Amino acid sequence: MREHSLSYAAAAVLEAIAKGHQYGFDVIGVTGLASGTVYPALRRLEDAGYVQSRWEDHRVAQREVRPARKYYEVTESGEAALTAALLRYRPIGRRRPASARIPRPSRA
pLDDT tens digits along 4-45: 579 999 999 999 999 999 999 999 999 999 999 999 999 999
The pLDDT of residue 89 is: 85
| pTM (two decimals) | 0.79
Residue 94 pLDDT? 55
Question: What confidence tier does 101 reach under pLDDT thresholds 50, 70, 90?
Answer: low
3-state secondary structure the chain: CCHHHCCHHHHHHHHHHHCCCCEHHHHHHHHCCCHHHHHHHHHHHHHCCCEEEEECCHHHHHHCCCCCCEEEEECHHHHHHHHHHHHHCHHHHHCCCHHHCCCCCCCC
